[in-house]
Structure 1
Amino acid sequence: MSHGQHGVGPSIGVTAGPASDLGEIHNWTDLLYFFNHTLPECHVELSESTKRVALFVLYLAIFVVGLVENLLVICVNWRCSGRAGLLSLYVLNMAIADLGIVLTLPVWMLEVTLDYTWLWGSFSCRFTHYFYFANMYSSIFFLVCLSIDRYVTLTGASPAWQRHQHRVRRAVCAGVWVLSAIIPLPEVVHMELVESSEPMCVFMAPFENYSTWALVVTLSTTVLGFLLPFPLITVFNVLTAWRLKRAGRPESRRHCLLVCAYIAVFAVCWLPYHVSLLLLSLHGVDIYLHCYLAHLLFFFYDVIDCFSMLHCVVNPILYNFLSPGFRGRLLSAVVHYLPKAQPRAGRRASSSSSSTQHSIIITMEGTEPTAAGPHHPGLHFQAPDTSPISAPQSLTAR
């Protein structure tokens, strides 16, 4: 359900026993006691300290890499928004959402290090979880929009679509942000800072129907975050690859591999998270897990949750850095900010290299070079392509 549910120890805030037993619970202390004493009796050797160290390292790595990647994607797409690919608006918004997720990682990292003690107050308890979930849903929904829009544009849309596509995309992006801002509210409103020996930020639904609340929140998260988006992403990416292959494009094999990567990454990041979340929510209410399976799921839920955030690192690579168009715009941005003023004597002494640099800069700005210079086999600059999505390399959403 959420990161804050880590605070209830091994039970992570999901029901762990028969729903009828919850009638004897009158406050959060009873609830925590119930969660922590209803796991099946079996001995499992698992080191919490080792898990905390591993989680700290994972969170830190995802934070550093994801921060750099998504900032680069945002800067490049923002700077080139007027002449980039038609789908760059979805890519830009997805990078903003992924950056929002990445910015919450230091909080989860410190929470894990402090054994799930929450030190940042009641408002931060709710706002941090709200901010995380709003950006999580936004990232997933923008990925769905990108998959659908790519196929619609590729199949030769109507003239009306051609005229109004930019306006429609802006409206869709605004709608995604609004929807993503609303969806987390039922869960976040029940996030509370509870005081025990140490303060913890946990999901605290009404005690009399806690199991129902927990299951409803879990099911809504799974349906909206996976069961609906995954088939849409799969179907429209497969249709896009099929259309490109049927057209006999020489790059169709590369695009088919990219489509497989899009689908596989989404499944690998989110399927384990939702399966474990659903099993833990159902455990003790509708099903009873085997003793060792229950302990393993409770123990590794935090790690699975952390791995789900790898999409913030992989998305910029798949949808930006593998695209020749994006790499060209990135190099253009780098060259744009390099110092261009040189001493006159230096320019006379190295006229050939100067003309080469000049030709690169002009080419990167989208015009033909006016002077021929030595060829550098390692430099393959090209101007951003503003052609429709039917261009083969546009599959990577330049």
Structure 2
Amino acid sequence: MSVTVSMESGPSKEVTAGSAGDIGEIHNWTELLYFFNHTMPECHTELNESTKRVALFVLYLAIFVVGLVENLLVIWVNWRCSGQAGLLGLYILNMAIADLGIVLCLPVWMLEVTLDYTWLWGSFACRFTHYFYFANMYSSIFFLVCLSIDRYVTLTHASPSWQRYQHRVRRAVCAVVWVLSAIIPLPEVVHIQLLEGSEPMCLFLAPFETYSTWALVVTLSTTILGFLLPFPLIAVFNMLTVCRLRQAGWPEGRRNCLLVCAYIAVFVICWLPYHVTLLLLTLHGTQISLHCYLVHLLYFFYDIIDCFSMLHCVLNPILYNFLSPSFRSRLLSAVVHYLPKVQAGAGRRASSSSSTQHSIIITKEGTQPTAAGPYHHSSLNFQAPKTSPISAPQSLIAS
């Protein structure tokens, strides 16, 4: 009989059991865990759990600090400059909100890792934290899909009717995404429970008789909705967008192609290892039989792979915001707006001392005085195109 148990930290802690009929005398989960710990096949692997916990804590902390700063900046700039955020700014803003929600869960995972996966925050927090994470995870992925599709649709459909209703359609799509993301995690969250004991743990505990079925259904739904469906849509529509820009003769076609490749590569690197590992661990013992050493390696590195998948919260703001000249201009404009006004006052006093010279220059050039201020520059006042969207593909690739 092959029986394995997983005590991973993070949002996908699961217990995977096989051949339930062979252990019919076990009546509760505490006895089941005891049975698992004494019937696991012995694989003498030299894996240091203490080193793993330290590495996980450092990774969680780095992602939390960097992701928090980046996504707060993205939300602040796009919210403050909503009229200048470009055609697809609404999706980018909502994706940053979802990524911020994921980042806010990391302090809980950090403390859980430090306490050797002991859960100290009660039953409600056990379920709500996992639900909050999964809802924001699906939202971030779905908004990325919407962004990829809408970018291509905007390039290829420049009809007046689409331009008239596009903002209304985007708001409706964002609302639908949030509703779906709030519903999808429910089948898994209802089976997440706090396992009481001397060291309480927050685990996925479906009914024992149907546990294997529930675990397989939850894992398959997570893999299908979180990767198998989004990835082809993201890849295909991004490649179609690049082809469209090349046909239009856009001079920065090479840069746009590299950006699109980066979009696709980041999504694959972050999510493919996570879903493959989760699927293998779920199928082991019920559908397939893996080698003992491979199982131990998967269980050991699952936490690290799970943490690594959260890198998208750090990379998304860079790819979809900080690499965009228009976003950098809006960020600079927002920062300059809140600079201390003492320097501006000193600059006005200095300019008044040489008013004669300035008058000569103005008269000589035949122009009118303009408002003072370092942020009144054409590059800082980017506006979304009102006509054909193909006229500004840069705002569609990285707005």
> TM-score if structure 1 supplies the norm length?
0.89
Quick one: distance in 2 between partners of 1:357 and 1:47? 64
Structure 1 residues 278 and 326: CA distance shift in structure 2, 3 A: same
Contact 2:87–2:396 (8 Å) recurs in 1: no
Offset of 1:358 from its aligned partner?
A: 3.1
Give the 3-state SS of the residue equivalent to 2:227 in structure 1. helix
The residue aligned with 1:291 is 292
Quick one: distance in 2 between partners of 1:288 and 1:99? 38
Contact 1:318–1:396 (8 Å) recurs in 2: no
Contact 2:102–2:313 (8 Å) recurs in 1: yes
Offset of 1:17 from its aligned partner?
A: 3.2
Describe the superposition over 1:78-115 as per-residue Cα deviations: whole angstroms up to 9, x where unpaired.
Answer: 01112320100000000000000000000000000000
The residue aligned with 2:382 is 384
Offset of 1:133 from its aligned partner?
A: 0.4
Contact 2:9–2:113 (8 Å) recurs in 1: no
The residue aligned with 2:364 is none
Give the 3-state SS of the residue equivalent to 2:235 in structure 1. helix
Moved more, 131-140 or 22-31: 22-31
Describe the superposition over 1:57-86 as per-residue Cα deviations: whole angstroms up to 9, x where unpaired.
Answer: 000000000000000000000011123201
The residue aligned with 2:302 is 301
Quick one: distance in 2 between partners of 1:319 and 1:27? 49
Describe the superposition over 1:357-396 as per-residue Cα deviations: whole angstroms up to 9, x where unpaired.
Answer: 9363222xx5xxxxxxxxxxxxxx4421311542121233
Offset of 1:28 from its aligned partner?
A: 1.1
Offset of 1:336 from its aligned partner?
A: 1.1
Quick one: distance in 1 between partners of 2:353 and 2:25? 88
Describe the superposition over 1:24-81 as per-residue Cα deviations: whole angstroms up to 9, x where unpaired.
Answer: 4421113323443454332101000000000000000000000000000000000111
User: Which residue identity lines up with residue 335 of structure 1 in the other structure?
Assistant: V
The residue aligned with 1:208 is 209
The residue aligned with 1:256 is 257
Share of identical aligned residues, percent?
78
Q: Which runs of 4+ in 1 moved over 6 A?
A: 350-353
2:324 matched to 1:330? no
Q: How many residues align?
A: 376
User: What are the residue-to-residue correspondences of 1:4-19 with 2, within 5 Å?
Assistant: 6=7, 12-19=13-20
User: Which residue identity lines up with residue 72 of structure 1 in the other structure?
Assistant: L
Offset of 1:208 from its aligned partner?
A: 0.7
Offset of 1:16 from its aligned partner?
A: 4.4
Structure 1 residues 326 and 284: CA distance shift in structure 2, 3 A: same
Quick one: distance in 1 between partners of 2:246 and 2:272? 29
Moved more, 307-316 or 206-215: 206-215
2:124 matched to 1:126? no
User: Which residue identity lines up with residue 123 of structure 1 in the other structure?
Assistant: F
Structure 1 spans left out of the alignment, 5+ residues: 367-380
Give the 3-state SS of the residue equivalent to 1:218 in structure 2. helix
Quick one: distance in 1 between partners of 2:37 and 2:236? 42
User: Superposition RMSD on alpha carbons, in Å?
Assistant: 2.3
Structure 2 spans left out of the alignment, 5+ residues: 1-5, 359-368
The residue aligned with 2:375 is 361
Moved more, 325-334 or 244-253: 244-253
Moved more, 52-61 or 246-255: 246-255
Moved more, 81-90 or 166-175: 81-90
The residue aligned with 1:369 is none
User: What are the residue-to-residue correspondences of 1:14-53 with 2, within 5 Å?
Assistant: 14-21=15-22, 23-53=24-54
Moved more, 158-167 or 264-273: 158-167
Contact 2:139–2:177 (8 Å) recurs in 1: yes
Give the 3-state SS of the residue equivalent to 1:342 in structure 2. helix
Bigger CA radius of gyration: 2
Quick one: distance in 2 between partners of 1:73 and 1:303? 27
User: What are the residue-to-residue correspondences of 1:157-168 with 2, within 5 Å?
Assistant: 157-168=158-169
Quick one: distance in 1 between partners of 2:79 and 2:13? 39
Contact 1:6–1:116 (8 Å) recurs in 2: yes
Contact 1:88–1:397 (8 Å) recurs in 2: no
Give the 3-state SS of the residue equivalent to 2:285 in structure 1. coil
The residue aligned with 1:223 is 224
Contact 2:9–2:109 (8 Å) recurs in 1: no
User: What are the residue-to-residue correspondences of 1:271-290 with 2, within 5 Å?
Assistant: 271-290=272-291
Give the 3-state SS of the residue equivalent to 1:358 in structure 2. coil
Describe the superposition over 1:91-150 as per-residue Cα deviations: whole angstroms up to 9, x where unpaired.
Answer: 000000000000000000000000001111111001000000000000000000000000
> TM-score if structure 2 supplies the norm length?
0.89
Contact 1:17–1:35 (8 Å) recurs in 2: no
